[in-house]
Amino acid sequence: MSVLPKLHRRFVPLLLSLCLVLPLFALPERTASAADAWVSALSGIDTMYDGYTALETANKIEKLEIQALRKDSAERLKSVNATVKTIDKAKIEKLAAAAAALQTKHAALLKQYSDLGKQASEARKRKDKKSADLLDLKRNNLKPSVEAAKLEIKNAKEALAAAKKQAAAKAKTVKDALVQVAAFKKQVTAENKSIAAFNKTRAASYKRYRSAVKSGNAITAAAELTLMYNQLGKIHGSQQKIYGWEKQIASAIKAAAGKLPS
């Protein structure tokens, strides 16, 4: 069993509580002097940095859990789709082989019957009544056997068609249960684009933060750290949505698997 859910239940809530509490102590109000503002910004960074790293760690753990859930769902979905393709496969193959065998078995008889009909028609066109009558006699003598053969082939084909229809109906029941999966995946994809945008903003802010640290500009550094923290919060919100959708995907796949023929 994966340890990620346990980590998520025990560690992430603690981290998130820290993330919510620590920013309350962030950046004091500006004082009249620039020196006081610089000191206040430095104090705010000292406090907020812990909240920032806690939220960053929480997001990483959530991401790992999402990835694990998604991987498990992908494997289960692959298995369900593979099984759907085998529904009544053996039965259908057997009926198809039987129908083909009957077609081969009666091919010569059916061809002979057809050829006699063509020959009789040609004889009538030549006004050769004797030949036409003889050919009709031969053809009509085969008619009962031909009709029996055609009926046997017809029944075999109908049995095959019925089996295919039944298998398709069973497969549809499973596929219908998976319809929601595609919709949830589209939502996940869209939300991942939002996360990418948040990360892009955070990365740009981090560069400015590092530059401010190098130049000793605590006020700018504090502002950029606040921006980065806010972006992490947005990422956390998006990951929570994605985790919810991934759970719904897993549930849909489980429901579909339950509809597979035993």
In this structure, of 42-56, 66-80, 110-124, the range with the lowest mean pLDDT score is 42-56
Mean pLDDT, range 180-192, rounded to an integer: 96
Q: How many domains does the chain have?
A: 2
User: Quick one: pLDDT band at residue 37, thresholds 50, 70, 90?
Assistant: confident
* pLDDT at 40 (0 to 100): 84
Same domain (yes/no): 120, 231: no
Query: Is the predicted pLDDT of residue 228 greater than 80, yes or no?
Result: yes
Closest CA to 156 of 113, 100, 106: 100
CB 38 within 8 A of CB 78: no
Same domain (yes/no): 187, 83: yes
Q: How far apart, in whole angstroms, are the C-alpha atoms of residue 66 and residue 202?
A: 21
Query: Is the predicted pLDDT of residue 62 greater than 70, yes or no?
Result: yes
Same domain (yes/no): 13, 40: yes
CB 191 within 8 A of CB 241: yes
Q: How far apart, in whole angstroms, are the C-alpha atoms of residue 260 and residue 172?
A: 10
Taking the C-alpha atoms of 225, 228, 233 and 234 in order, what is their torsion angle to the nearest 10 degrees? 150
* pLDDT at 28 (0 to 100): 47
Provide the mean pLDDT of the chain. 88
Sequence-distant (6+) residues with CB within 8 A of 234 are: 194, 198
Same domain (yes/no): 112, 166: yes
Out of 118, 147, 170, a domain closes at 170
Same domain (yes/no): 183, 56: yes
Query: Is the predicted pLDDT of residue 262 greater than 90, yes or no?
Result: no
Same domain (yes/no): 44, 82: yes
pLDDT (tens digit per residue) in 151-172: 999 999 999 999 999 999 999 9
3-state SS class at 86: coil
* pLDDT at 25 (0 to 100): 42
Give residue 213's domain range: 4-87+174-258
Q: In degrees rounded to 5, what are phi and psi of residue 256?
A: -65, -40
Same domain (yes/no): 67, 194: yes
User: Quick one: pLDDT band at residue 1, thresholds 50, 70, 90?
Assistant: very low
Same domain (yes/no): 30, 70: yes
Stated pTM of the model? 0.74
Q: How far apart, in whole angstroms, are the C-alpha atoms of residue 18 and residue 98?
A: 71
Per the listing, tokens 């430095």 go with 42
* pLDDT at 131 (0 to 100): 92
- Bigger pLDDT: 2 vs 130: 130
Same domain (yes/no): 164, 94: yes
Out of 170, 190, 214, a domain closes at 170
Same domain (yes/no): 79, 179: yes
Per the listing, tokens 């919510």 go with 20
Same domain (yes/no): 83, 198: yes
Out of 109, 141, 170, a domain closes at 170
In this structure, of 3-7, 130-134, 186-190, the range with the lowest mean pLDDT score is 3-7
Same domain (yes/no): 72, 119: no
Mean pLDDT, range 250-255, rounded to an integer: 96
